[in-house]
Every structure is written in C-alpha cells, then in structure tokens.
Amino acid sequence: MEPEATLAAGDPPTATAATAGGSRKRPRCACAANVVLVEELSRLRARVRDPTSHLSANYTRAIASVMRHEAPIRDGRQAKAELRNVGSYLANQIHAVLQRKGLLQTTMATSVSVDVASKEYAPTYRKQPWFVILGLSDERATSESGAVAVNTLLLRMQRSGYDGNAGKLRACLASLCGTHEVVRKTAAGLLPTSRPAADAGVVCIDLSDTEENDDRQDDADSFEFEPDAEPPIVSTATSPEAPPESLGGVILPSDTWELVLVLDHREILSRQNRDVLERKLLERNVTCEVRALNVGDMQWVARRFRGEAVDEFMLNAIVERKEVRDLSGSIIDRRYTEQKTRLRASGVTHVIYLAEGSLHQQTAVRVGGLRTALCRTQVQDQFFVQVCQNADETVAFLAAVHARLLAKFPRARCRNPPLEQLPRPSLCRLPTQATATPREFADAFCRPVQSFATFNALFRKKTSFSVREVYQMMLTQAPAMSAAKALGVAAKHPTLRQLRDALAAQPAVTHRDERVENVRCGESQRRLGIKARDSLAYLLTADEYSDSDAALGRE
C-alpha cells in the first residue's frame, strides 16, 4: 500500500506531494479563508526544536482541526470554543497570527470583550499576571492619559518582587491581551480592560512590620522553643482604619466570626490514641477540627456566620509539622523539596515549618544535615522555622499562634472563648484582649481571598504522571542528581535506553563519556559533572551491585 502524504511543516496545505507511486494533492482546507492560518501554524510547528515533542504534536492536531473546520476562524476565543485539540496556549497563538495578518475581526473581539468583562479573572498569587495587574493598579492606569509603557511597567513589577525579564513580560502580555482580554494595548501604552472581580488577589499585603522582622532575625540564630516567645504572625499597629475595599462583600458589620484551627487527619501524636493532639488543643480552649488537608498539616480558617449561611475562608498562616525522623526520611526521598514547593505556591505569607523532637536522635541524616535543612528552609524559602522538643511544646506553640490570630478578630462579633480564658505561660507576651483594627482583621485573610474548600482543591497532589515525569523522578533518585540535572539529562537523552547506550559507549581508556558528562543543566547551564555521570553509569551499566561499592558512596 502506498504511504499517504502528510502535511509537511511549513508547506501550504494546497501544495502537491510526490509519493512512491506518483503524486497526489494534499488535503485542502474546508474553508478557504483558513488557508493563511494553516500556513502560519505550520511555520510555528517547524520552529519547534524537537519534532517528537508534545508541542509539535499539539500543533499537528490543531492544524488538522482548522483544516476540517468549515467556518472562518476570526479570533482566539472562537478557535478555543469551536475547534478540537485547541487549548489556551494554541488559542493565544491563533489569536496572535490573525492579529499579525490583519484577519482579526474587531467587531467580534469587541463583542466578546464585553462578555469577558462580566467574568471574574483571578490571577494566581505572585505569578506574572498577578504582578502585571498589580503594576497597572499601582500606576493608576485608568484612562488613555495614564497608560503605562512596557518598560515602566517592568520596573514597577520588579520593585514589587518580580524577577522576570522583558521577554517573559511580553509573552505574558500577549496572553493577557489576547486570550484573557484583561489588558489592552493602546498607542499610549497599556491599560486594564476592566477591574478584575477577584481584586483581593491583586492587592499586595505585607503583614511584616519592622518589629516583626526583628523577632524573626532574633529567632534565626536558635531553633529552641521558648514558651515566652511571641510568634511573629501579626503586626500591632493600632491606627483606626476601615476595612479595605478589596475584600468586597466578605466582611460586613452584621457578620459573626469564629477562628478554627484545622488539623490534618494524618497528624497524630500517639498511634495508641490518634485524637490526643485534638484533645490537648481543646483543653487549651483552642477551637479545632480534624479534616483532610491537601497542603500543610495545620491551617487556620475564619468561619463566617451570615444569617443561615456559614462560609469558611483561609487565613494567612499555615503549619507544616515534621517529626525529626520524618524530616530525615523526607530529605532522603525528596518529599522535603516537593512539600516546600507546594507550600510556596500556596500564596500564604506566613508559613511555619515546625520540627518536633531532638535533632540529636539517631536518624538517617546527621545533626549537621538536619540543621542545614532547617537553615535553608528559613533563609532561602523564608519560612518561619520552629523546633519543639516534644508534643507538649508543639501544643503550646500552636495555642500561642492561635491566640495571636484570635486577637485580630472583632471581639464583639467573635464566637471563640475570650482571650482571658486561654492558658498563658508566665512571662508570655501574648495579647490579653482583642484590640485589632478592621484593617488588621482584613489583613489576616489569605490573598487572594479563598474559601477553605477552594484552597484545598487547588493544591491537591498530582496523582497521574506522564512517562517523562516518571523518568525524571527516577533520575533524581541517583546520588548527586538534582531536579535541574535530571531535566538536563532527560532533554538530552529522552529514554533510559538512550542514556544507558550513551554511558555504555564510553571510551575504555579514559572511562569518561563527555556526551553525558557535558550535559548542560539549570539556568546557569552548568555541566552535569563527573560524580553524577559516574553514579548514573554505575546504576545503569553495572552487572551487579554491592553496598560497599565506591560509586554510590565515595567521591
């Protein structure tokens, strides 16, 4: 049977292709108006470095879908709604192609933008769209005269903590202007099309004042728990202010509130009595409940009572509790890094990393390694690190944090026990009464404001992995192989067989294979190195393994 002609990258769909038995015409577009779009998508596919990648396959499926479509495609939103195998990324590419070729239908784009303005757009906390909308808000870009130039916006974003460059910003702006249509370009610069409804995600709230930072700096030198230490959770400003408008209708004067500490159902202090942690906290008048949490081990929620309706909102504090042996095990099996990544992505400002137990007990990781891990968690990840010697100190610390948060709630409208009824260690500088302002109460909420159910649904652990992801996770189990190195090796050698063949083909004299050793990894493009190459070579090419073998433990 003669092989069928396929659409070559970069060739027009109406061209002819020679086959073994003669020549036949390539399939034509069902709509002649889409020929230009097919040609441009084919050129974009030809620019993909790896023709076997998912991106190239996605372009191929999108091109086939465009060719079968009988109506002309006039904007990205229409492409996403009417074409198969076209998601947000390809819809944005189609929108850009049509705009570049002058085929974008302005009337349709205008009619769609009105509908988009009525929908909520909630940018992810501290991601590029979040910084863009925050920068436009800071520059007060509300009219043509106040339009912001791209370079000015980039400088404003960098002052707010954005670490990207102009290239990344332009790619983000293309998505915001095309697919989402929350930003529009004018001759004078950039303007927001409308104020996003989820405005709480745009307002940057910094809860750390000077006094709080001083407390953190003092605690950085010691990991010992001090019962009289004041947990650095909230500021103590007392200037009266009204609640910020960014919270919308979340806080009303008629609402009543309750502060609840939610414990993960997997967190136990004793296997014989799994409820001992909850019982000890309840004995201290700490309102707590046990549920399934997808991120962190303890979360604080504000339960709102408005008439018959009861809603729960996430607060800006979360705790990851690690027993020392569990901490040691998580460092070895890489859960330590994965869990911290998910905590950073949660958007919670005050992440508390609580280690329970003596660091000097015998574990797979030595004391120095544990201290290094905790120091990196505090300095690099900017988590608040707390070490408690036993379960009682853990309960005392959680109760102290609970009291600090409770002091921010309006006392007249709070259902929790009064602060005076909470147990108080001697010399402890915890608040004795709720004197917080409405602004401080509003600042206690997580940004963007989310319900408890929504927050935990967003950060559910991934349960299905692609073959490429499983391959990369397997590589990280080898000694001296970090995640960045695994990505570099997987890009150069996509399968284990290819990697093994490259390692097995090493010169017999030098015992080195530069094809693997010189793989570039990470943003700095550093070489993989001899140690990582040797450990991979041992694991993939050795006929048998020995516990005393030098390749797994020696330099």
Q: What is the pLDDT of residues 272-301, one digit of tens each?
A: 566 788 888 888 888 899 888 888 899 999
Gap between the Cα atoms of 27 and 255, Å rounded: 64
Residue bearing the bigger pLDDT, 504 or 391:
391
Which pLDDT value is given to residue 521? 75
Gap between the Cα atoms of 485 and 468, Å rounded: 14
Q: Residue 14: how many CA atoms within 13 Å on its side-chain side?
A: 9
Task: Answer yes or no: is pLDDT of 440 > 80.
Answer: yes
- CA torsion sign for 363, 369, 371, 375 is negative
Cα–chain center distance at 455? 12
Kindly state the tokens that stand for 138: 């800071």
C-beta separation of 132 from 174 below 8 A? no
Residue 284's identity, in one-letter code, is R
Which pLDDT value is given to residue 274? 64
Gap between the Cα atoms of 54 and 52, Å rounded: 7
Residue bearing the bigger pLDDT, 122 or 327:
327
Name the one residue in this structure whose structure tokens are 């996509």.
Answer: 494
Residue bearing the bigger pLDDT, 19 or 291:
291
Kindly state the tokens that stand for 449: 């404001």
Which pLDDT value is given to residue 56? 85
Task: Answer yes or no: is pLDDT of 337 > 70.
Answer: yes
Annotation: CATH topology of 210-227+243-458: Rossmann fold (3.40.50)
CATH architecture for residues 467-553: Orthogonal Bundle (1.10)
Lowest-confidence segment of 19-23, 235-239, 523-527 by average pLDDT: 235-239
- CA torsion sign for 276, 305, 125, 232 is negative
Gap between the Cα atoms of 157 and 152, Å rounded: 9
Q: Residue 491: exposed, middle, or buried by beta-carbon count in 10 A (0-12, 13-18, 19+)?
A: middle
Task: Answer yes or no: is pLDDT of 242 > 50.
Answer: no
Q: How far is CA 381 from CA 144, 339, 341, 501, 529, in A?
A: 40, 12, 9, 39, 26
DSSP state of 178: I
Q: Which of 23, 12, 85 is nearest to 46 (CA)?
A: 12
- CA torsion sign for 360, 364, 368, 373 is negative
> Among the residues of 176-268, which ranges form H helices?
210-219
Which pLDDT value is given to residue 339? 85
Q: Which of 377, 390, 401, 422 is nearest to 323 (CA)?
A: 390
Q: What is the mean pLDDT of residues 329-338?
A: 83
Name the one residue in this structure whose structure tokens are 């106040």.
Answer: 146
Q: What is the mean pLDDT of residues 10-30?
A: 52
The neighbouring-strand residues paired with 301 are 260, 314
DSSP 35-83: HHHHHHHHHHHHT-S-TTSHHHHHHHHHHHHHHH--S---SHHHHHHHS
State whether residue 9 is helix, strand or coil: coil
Gap between the Cα atoms of 72 and 133, Å rounded: 33
C-beta separation of 229 from 283 below 8 A? no
CATH number of 16-110: 1.10.150.110
C-beta separation of 529 from 514 below 8 A? no
pLDDT tens, 122-147?
677 677 888 888 888 877 777 777 78
Q: How far is CA 409 from CA 176, 211, 371, 445, 527, in A?
A: 37, 21, 36, 11, 54
Q: What is the mean pLDDT of residues 298-322?
A: 92
Q: Is 16-110's fold the same as 119-201's?
A: no
**Highest-scoring range by mean pLDDT, 153-167, 221-235, 409-423, 509-523:** 153-167
Q: Which of 41, 40, 13 is nearest to 26 (CA)?
A: 13
Task: Answer yes or no: is pLDDT of 207 > 60.
Answer: no
Q: How confident is the model at residue 425 (pLDDT cuts 50, 70, 90)?
A: low
C-beta separation of 420 from 433 below 8 A? yes
Domain ranges of the chain: 16-110, 119-201, 210-227+243-458, 467-553
**Strand locations in 332-442 (E):** 350-356, 384-388
Residues above pLDDT 70, as percent of the chain: 72
pLDDT tens, 169-201?
888 887 777 666 778 777 777 767 654 434 433
CATH number of 119-201: 1.10.10
pLDDT tens, 521-555?
766 677 777 788 788 888 888 888 776 554 454 44
Q: What is the mean pLDDT of residues 427-453?
A: 73
Kindly state the tokens that stand for 60: 């191929």
Which pLDDT value is given to residue 262? 92
Q: What is the mean pLDDT of residues 238-244?
A: 40
Q: How confident is the model at residue 421 (pLDDT cuts 50, 70, 90)?
A: low
Gap between the Cα atoms of 283 and 429, Å rounded: 21
Q: How confident is the model at residue 217 (pLDDT cuts 50, 70, 90)?
A: very low
